[in-house]
A = this chain, B = another copy of it.
């Protein structure tokens, strides 16, 4: 790491899409204010973008379409990767790190799935790999976990970390609309991609949760072990029934450290209406973190958008500028917050988690059905916290059950048996319910 006094910090940006373009604009708009904070002028001297017209950025020395020309530019101190995806992003980042340049990336998939390898290359080359913008857009949650809460053992965290999914669930709840209907609107508004799989099936949230879990607990990145369930199966009826019981359904990423290992899971979740997360609507993100000293703290704000994400990219730039100015000889903060990971903490399989559950069963309106269901649950040692029987829909009656804390494996067995009952029709809706030990905020 070159910490000799330089006149400026020189940036190269790879990819001028939403985030890259936003970053370039933000550095220009807020440059004067930022230099009062860093003491070191920051300038963009190289840009690569697929669609760049020759001569369109006349004040930037090195422009073109090849990101490797940025990664290999000897004058560039920091490479900002805002291309997205793996190819060529992975090789560009690797090349830049190998050349001894710091790298800032907004690429959550890249960090969650191949971050281990890149972080080790960064360490070898004594440079920083920073990714505040990869998780929860403009919310400085990486900094909170790695630094602000660093005095704590983190017990658990839970977050609304996909704006598209939260917009869809919020709309379904506010207007009693169907999933597919709201998804179409979200696509028209530009909140959802043409192929919405990444967002609505929870993959994007799982990438972010993987990164947060690693930092929170000091464990390696383990995207492949993260449990992922999307929101496409949530029905407006379930949202209404949950509300009547005092709960809101949110798509949460949950990570929790237990004696037996860690839970890392993304799925629709019933949470108390009193939990601050329940009031976070629309495309916002919010993360509740519970530490053994501080208790629960909440961080919320815009999880996406050009300017919000650029805010986090440039925060990483400012960190580097300040470290450089202070004469740092090596990275100040380990990329994932720990110098040495806990290597032997297993990630629990979903069958082995314990949770409370919401069950919605359609059954014929006949004497004895409820008794049969109850006896199956009892046989599987699942105790019931609440039952409500709703008005019949055609010949079926919706029965809604909240269970006490139980092992998921046991619940699966009970559900399979209940579904075999003659008087039970369709499959049973099962949604996990989180009763956090500290709801935070109120």
Contacts and interface: CB of A to CB of B under 8 A. Distances in A.
A293 B318 contact: no
Contacts of A305: 295
Interface stretch (A92-100, A324-332, A385-393): A324-332
B332 A322 contact: yes
A330 B331 CA distance: 15
Contacts of A22: 293
Contacts of A308: 293-295
A294 B298 contact: no
A144 interface: yes
Nearest to A292: B30
A282 to B, nearest CB: 6
Interface string A277-294: 001111010100001111
A371 interface: no
Given A301-B296, A326-B328, A441-B286, A152 B37 contact: no
Nearest to A327: B329
A301 B323 CA distance: 29
Question: How many copies of this chain sit in the oligomeric assembly?
Answer: 2
Contacts of A150: 34, 37, 314-315, 318
Given A301-B441, A441-B301, A279 B276 contact: yes
A26 B292 CA distance: 9
Given A301-B298, A302-B295, A311-B151, A332 B338 contact: no
B151 A30 contact: yes
Nearest to A279: B279
A393 B318 CA distance: 59
A236 interface: no
A36 interface: yes
Contact of A441 (B36, B132, B300): B300
Contacts of A282: 442
Contact of A138 (B218, B294, B301, B327): B294
B144 A339 contact: no
A21 interface: no
A280 B139 contact: no
A41 interface: no
Interface of A: 3, 22, 26, 29-30, 33-34, 36-39, 132, 138-140, 143-144, 147-153, 170, 218, 276, 279-282, 284, 286, 291-302, 305, 307-308, 310-315, 317-319, 322-323, 325-334, 337-340, 342, 440-442
Q: Which 7 A-B pairs have the closest CB atoms?
A: A140-B148, A297-B301, A151-B314, A327-B329, A138-B294, A294-B311, A281-B442
Given A149-B315, A280-B441, A297-B301, 19 more contacts: A26-B151, A30-B153, A34-B151, A37-B334, A138-B293, A138-B295, A140-B297, A150-B318, A151-B310, A151-B312, A276-B280, A282-B442, A284-B442, A286-B441, A293-B310, A295-B305, A323-B332, A326-B332, A327-B330
